[in-house]
Amino acid sequence: MNMSPAEFLEYLSKEVAAAGGQTLYAVHVGISKQYLNDILKGRKEPGMKLLKAIGFKKIVTYEPTRGITLLAPDAAKAAAESS
């Protein structure tokens, strides 16, 4: 199941609440309460230690926002035909 950053933060917030609060959750996953608070407030991104502890991994994707313009005309045509 893929989640947007906002969906992940919502999920994490619910998990923290279910665990009894930020202090208990932070101790359980091995991070500081302040770091967890920074993540929940959007000031920091979750790191590998937290993600691994809760069974998640971060996946980054890139999508083009416009057509290919930096290729030579023949290369651009070939790229368009192959897709």
Start-to-end C-alpha separation, the chain: 27
The model's pLDDT over 12-65, given as tens digits with 9 standing for 90+, comes to 999 999 999 999 999 999 999 999 999 999 999 999 999 999 999 999 888 887
- In whole angstroms, what is the distance from residue 56 CA to residue 23 CA? 20
Percent composition of the chain: helix, strand, coil (DSSP 3-state, to 5): 55, 0, 45
Distance set, CA 66 to CA 63, 69, 72, 82 (Å): 9, 8, 16, 17
* Domain residue ranges in the chain: 1-83
**What CATH code is assigned to 1-83?**
1.10.260
The structure tokens listed for 66 are: 């416009």
Give the pTM: 0.71
